[in-house]
Amino acid sequence: MKIIQLLIPSKTIFVLIFLFPISALSNNTDRMGKETANDSDQIEHEKLVFETRSCHFKNEKNMEDLIRVTNKWKNYFDKSGVNYSAWLATPQFYNTELLDHEVYWFGASPSRSEFMKSLDVWASREDSSWNRVRAEFDSILTCESRLAWQAEKTRSGSTENLDQGRTFILMCEIKDGYDLDSVSDSYDEMTVISERLGVDQDHFRLYGSPFTQSFKNTYFYSPGDFSKFDYLHLIMDSSNAAGYENSLRFGEEGRKAREEKIVSKVNCEGLGNLTHYKIR
């Protein structure tokens, strides 16, 4: 099972757009006790649809221009009633061979039908004021890649993690002999352990196409090869400092558990470490 590599490339402003109400992951287990198989069995993931766009600034435009037009964009989407949230982000540490765009746009919705509604709002031509916003947006950014993904929110932490902070992205390939279900079970076990250790993070897993259910058809258009990796793993902390504190809480116990449960089943490559800021 080979799936998707996301081109999230260099010198980069990362625009994250999640099209869903960011609610807490509901699990009613006692995270302070010793983890058990039953604990992880009770975890329910939020099912999402994501879109990602990899973009560059046009004509010496910059972040200030982008923020100005996203404020107008937010006002229009507020009026539309579409369930759509958005973040801007910039890279801190990254592989220049993989991160070579200036702007990234990530989005997610709670269902395919809701995602399609968001696309209709974007494509609408009936409102002249929205047409001007679209034209202004297009004058600031050009996007070479646009992808659609199945996604799950696999762990919920404090709301501050999503308001602003650090996003770390991993591209992962499942080893022979394992599949996405078995890897997902291992991540659920790690969620129980991490929460017991006091780790406060939000985790998302992106994989495959939400329309064809095929790992080979993840995109609307893209110049890249998206068959190398099986999924993307996004980890969000409320800040770099919070991420460091979480790593201390995770500690040796967490690292040993991750080695046994995750590293034994997948090979992951760090894509980049970025800051994110919520704009809607």
pLDDT tens per residue, range 32-83 = 333 444 566 667 788 888 887 778 899 899 999 999 999 999 999 999 988 8
pLDDT tens per residue, range 191-240 = 999 999 999 999 999 887 666 544 444 445 444 444 567 888 999 999 99
Q: State if pTM tops 0.85.
A: no
**CB neighbours of 180 closer than 8 A, spacing ≥ 6?**
1, 174, 207, 230, 231
Taking each helix axis from N to C end, the angle separating 180-196 and 240-258, rounded to the nearest 10 degrees, works out to 120
Chain-wide mean pLDDT for the chain? 79
Mean pLDDT of 258-269: 95
More confident residue, 100 or 176: 176
